Structure 1
Amino acid sequence: MSKKVLFVCLGNICRSPIAEAVFLHLIKEKGVQEEWDVDSAALGGWHVGNLPDQRAMNTLRRHNIPYNNRARQIHEDDFHIFDFIFGMDENNISSLKEDAPENSKAKILLLGDFDPQGDRIIKDPYYDTGSKGFEKCYQQCIRCCSAFLEQHG
């Protein structure tokens, strides 16, 4: 039976698709992709159906990481399907906990809590100029997802 992880941010076009792509890349490198189901979602519906922000896509391409999912909004079912739901910042976590049904099986976790460098908040780079914030997000996701996989892989 596979373990199921869902990465969530505000719009599912910056941080959560980067985290999803990084996680997929890491489990493929480790040869354990059949042990995991991986997805990402948004708290809000503004970008549903869209590809990630071009700066997020460019960051992934620079690191030779493929990605082609489109934004979707989180559903109540997700709290029953996924084992782990990761938020990127404290606002994501409080929204997720607020939206979670009483009998949710998912553990709601801050992805940054797994950062060995202690950089807990993955800041939304959407309103930044340029791609520096996207690169920082990518580096944080690599560290956090790697550390999570060491513990739960």
Structure 2
Amino acid sequence: MKKILFVCLGNICRSPLAEGLMLSKISNMDNEEQFKIDSCGTADYHIGELPDERTRENAQENGLELKHRARQFDASDFNRFDHILVMDNANKMKIIGFATSEEHLQKVQLMRDYETEINLQGIDVPDPYYGGEEGFQNVYDILDRCTENLLNYHLQAIEN
């Protein structure tokens, strides 16, 4: 089983959207049970809340319903997940600060490491929180591409 955790700051915009996209992509697959997907934030600002209303509206416009409730990253997540995908470098540094082993560090990657274009790999998924509607759609498009590439990566690993 591949256990994947998506992480952003408050767990109300980017990471629950990435979780929802990934769940949607695997929902109709024969090997859906081979994946465990979750998301969280590095901050405790929104614990227990649904994703930001604008994120939910944008997701709905794109045919996706988000039901996740925000939670905060915990060091035990290193033991519960194989792959920890962080939305930006600032939050990546926070997650790395929780690591107690090289094995933990190996699990942490930036979400955009799964971009197809090399010049986009390793950069931040922008936080749409303080922006307008177009920012939420831009994040949706980025995460749609990256989760598709991430899924294909894991499917190839499962087949081999």
Q: TM-score, normalised by structure 1?
A: 0.92
Distance in 2 between residues matched to 1:76 and 1:106, nearest whole Å: 14
Aligned residues of 2:50 and 2:70 also touching (Cα < 8 A): yes
Say which SS state the counterpart of residue 127 (structure 1) adopts. coil
Which aligned segments of 4 or more residues in structure 1 are displaced greater than 6 angstroms?
Answer: none
C-alpha distance 106-74 of structure 1, shift in aligned 2 (>3 A) = farther
Aligned residues of 1:6 and 1:38 also touching (Cα < 8 A): yes
Say which SS state the counterpart of residue 27 (structure 2) adopts. helix
1:145 partner amino acid: T
Distance in 2 between residues matched to 1:31 and 1:67, nearest whole Å: 22
Give the paired residue count.
151
Deviation per CA, 1:65-97: give whole Å up to 9, x if none. Answer: 122111000111101110000101111111111
Alignment match, 1:25: 24
Aligned residues of 1:3 and 1:37 also touching (Cα < 8 A): yes
Aligned residues of 1:82 and 1:105 also touching (Cα < 8 A): no
Say which SS state the counterpart of residue 85 (structure 2) adopts. strand
2:42 partner amino acid: L
TM-align CA RMSD: 1.5
Alignment match, 2:116: 116
State the Cα distance separating 1:15 from its structure 2 match: 0.4
Q: Which has a greater percent of helix?
A: 2
Alignment match, 1:127: 130
Q: TM-score, normalised by structure 2?
A: 0.88
Alignment match, 2:146: 144
Aligned residues of 2:18 and 2:143 also touching (Cα < 8 A): yes
Q: Which moved more, 1:97-106 or 1:138-147?
A: 97-106
2:40 partner amino acid: A
Alignment match, 1:16: 15
1:53-92 matches, cutoff 5 A: 53-92=52-91
Say which SS state the counterpart of residue 37 (structure 1) adopts. strand
Say which SS state the counterpart of residue 63 (structure 2) adopts. coil
Distance in 1 between residues matched to 2:58 and 2:11, nearest whole Å: 15
